[in-house]
Each structure stands twice: as structure tokens, then as C-alpha cells.
Amino acid sequence: MKVLAALSGGVDSSVAAARAVDAGHEVVGVHLALSKSPESFRNGARGCCTLEDSRDARRTADILGIPFYVWDLSDRFKDDVIDDFVAEYEAGRTPNPCIRCNEKVKFTAVLERALALGFDAVCTGHYARIVETVAGHELHRAVDETKDQSYVLGVLSGDQLAHAMFPLGYSEKSEVRREAAQRGLLVADKPDSHDLCFVPDGDTAGYLRRHLGDRPGRIVDPSGADLGGHDGAYAFTVGQRKGLQLQSAASDGRPRYVLSIEPVSATVTVGPREQLMVGAVRAGAPRWCGPVPVDRHIRCRVQVRAHGALMPAHARVGHDGLVVQLDQPTPGVAPGQTLVLYDGSRVVGAATVTATAA
């Protein structure tokens, strides 16, 4: 096959590309430039897409003996990921930009361009498994549970999976690092990247403040009693405990958490942990990942954030979306988050949380 290997300059995508080469595919390396004005150097584990990353990707391609190009996806990344991220926070929701990037950039813009240019598949260093069955292509959790990335790929359709290649799905991360060193890849010791790649200093609230400006509002308790002010509701996420800067302590002396954010009046409601617990989740129309389930009632496990726990649940597929009943209530589920449904290790589908209830 002709395979386009997305090379971020990190260890995972490098080893993934190396394995695709070993498997006998005709591989071309492409580094995706997602920023118009990249930083020169990486700052530890923060950020990515720096000029240094681009050079690292090029050196990997050199060592693998494959052609290498840089594709400028900065416009698509800004439109589909960054603007969406800012707009979602502005609307009081909690988005996952990595999911958006996989959905819109890597497996739509890049994949479509690759297919048109004569490639058969896009290869990445994601930790997830694609299993081909008679019913179509299925997405499964990675063998290395601690690195599993099936959650951020849960929005992919069967068609997209049919043209995707994740050579690391059956490997442990430690194995991948060892293999990188054995192969002489210079990125074998490079730290994993964390946080949001477009917020290199890790200060998400500051990033949003620069984009959205001050939007002062009030912080109230569930009864509506005023507890203080804030400069912008976007700096808060549901489930947050630290940094609330409340002027008065709770009467019961227990810690308080962000329960909800009302964007129009910029009101942030805080309260005790038990009021954070969510047992029922409503979500929008699901995107099925692989075969569409026949049954309208699905016994499944759900995950609501990257590297979050798998929680047993019942999902009911309605005409306007999903209703999910969790076996055990859980804290920190908020509108905007992506809910991914699993049947065993298999991703069944994904939907965006629209509302929660105890």
C-alpha cells in the first residue's frame, strides 16, 4: 500500500512509520504544521509542532529512508480546532480539541488529501487497534491501557478507519521507546507531549482570556447566594476545585466545586462534591464507529475524558440523541465533553454531552 505516515517528531509516530516501512508499504512521511508561527524549541513536555519537532520528524524520515514533506494545515487547525475550542469555552462547555483535531484535521483534511494524491492510508502513532471484520472496520482499545487513545479516535467512522493505520495498538509504550532506540531513532528519549499543543505555556485560562477578554460575572452557591466575582466564566471547568478564590468559606467548611457554568450571565455555580455527581447523561446524535448497532438499548461502558475510567452504563438511542444511565454516579461530567461508548474493548460510537443530571 501507499501509506502517508504523519510524523509529529515524537517517538510514537516515528516508530509507527518505521513499522509501516518494515511491513513493506511504500511510506511517505508528512509533518503537519499546525501553527503559522511555530515556536523554535520545545519546552519540555509542553506544546508540539515547533521547528525542533519538524526537524526531528525530518531526521526520522532520513533514518527510515522515506521522502518527507511538511503540510501546512494551520488554516484548517485554526478554523476547526482552535476557534471551536474558544467558542466552546465561551459557551460554557468543555471541549476536547484533540478529538476535534483527529476528526477534522488528521482524518478528514489530511486523509482526504492523501487519498486524492494516491495514498491508500494514513498511519499515525496512536495507541489503538483497528480490527477488520466481516462487518467492517472496528476500533478497539490499545493493549497498553495506560496509553490507550481510542477515546480521542472514537469519533472516526468505519470509512475513516478503513484508511487508517495504527501500528502501535498492540504495543506497550516502554516497548516502543526501546524499539526506537534499537532503530537508532534520535527521538527515543524525547518526552511525551502533554496538555494542549497550541497552549505551549500550559496556561489555558490565560490563553482564553487573551482570546475572549474579561467577561466578569458572579460565583454563586446552589441557592443563588453570591460568593464572589470572577473575570471570565471560561476560566472554570465543571468539577474544578482549585483556584475559585472565594471570599467566604462554605458554612460547612467543606471544599466546593464548580457545578455548572451559565455562559449568558457568566454565572458560575459552586457547591459540595455530592452535587457534582452525575448519574444520567444526555448526549447528541451519536457517530457510530464501525458497525451500527441494531439494538436501541445498549449495555456498554462509557468514557467521558481522555484517560478517564471506563464506567458501566446503559445507553438508549433516541431519535434526537443518546440517554446514558451510569451504574455508579461519577463527578465531573460536563456539557461539551465527548462520551465514547465501548462494548468490551470495541468502540461503538461517540456523542457530545449536552446535559447531565443526578
Partner 1 sequence: MVYFDHAATTPMLPEAVAAMTRELGHVGNASSLHASGRRARRVVEESREAVASAFGARPSEVVFTASGTEADNLAVKGLFWSRRAADPRRRRVVVSAIEHHALLEPVLWLAAHEDAEVVELGVDSLGRVDPAELEAVLDEDPQGVALVSVMWANNEIGTVQPVSALAAITSAHDIPFHTDAVQAAGQLPIDFAGVGATALTLSGHKFGGPPAVGVLLLSREASPVPVLHGGGQEREVRSGTLDVPGVAAMAAAAAAVAADLPERQRHLAQVRDDVVARVPEVAPDAVLNGDPLLEPEHRLPANAHYSFPGCEGDDLLMLLDAQGIECSTGSACSAGVAQPSHVLLALGADTDVARSSLRFSVGLTSTKSDVDALVEALPAALLRAREARGRARS
User: Can 98 be counted among the known catalytic residues?
Assistant: no
109 makes contact with partner 1 (CB under 8 A): yes
Q: What is the dihedral of CA 147, 150, 153, 155, to 10 degrees?
A: -150
Whether 101 is catalytic: yes
Of residues 60-79, those binding partner 1 (CB under 8 A): 67, 69-72, 74
User: How many chain residues are in contact with partner 1, going by CB under 8 A?
Assistant: 20
Nearer CB in complex with partner 1: 112/201: 112
Q: What end-to-end distance do the CA atoms of the chain give, in Å?
A: 50
Catalytic residue among 98, 197, 289, 300: 197
CA distances from 67 to 7, 26, 39, 43 (A): 12, 10, 24, 28
Nearest to 64 by CA among 185, 240, 214, 202: 185
In the chain, the amino acid numbered 232 is G
Smallest separation, CB 82 to partner 1 (Å): 17
Cα–Cα distance between 266 and 82 in angstroms, integer?
Answer: 21
Q: Closer to partner 1 at the Cβ: 10 or 38?
A: 38
- Shortest Å, Cβ 121 to partner 1: 15
According to CB under 8 A, which one of 14, 54, 345, 356 is a site residue for partner 1?
54
Give yes or no for residue 212 binding partner 1 (CB under 8 A): no
CB of 54 to partner 1, least distance (A): 4
Q: Give Dmax over CA atoms of the chain in angstroms.
A: 67
> Which amino acid would we find at residue 212?
L
Tell me if 154 contacts partner 1 by CB under 8 A.
no
Q: Helix-strand-coil percent breakdown of the chain, rounded to 5?
A: 30, 30, 40
DSSP letter for 198, please: T
Question: For residues 4 and 268, which CB has a smaller minimum distance to partner 1 in the complex?
Answer: 4
Residues known to be catalytic: 101, 197
Write out the residues near partner 1 by the rule CB under 8 A. Answer: 28, 31, 33, 38, 51, 54, 58, 67, 69-72, 74, 109, 112-113, 115-118
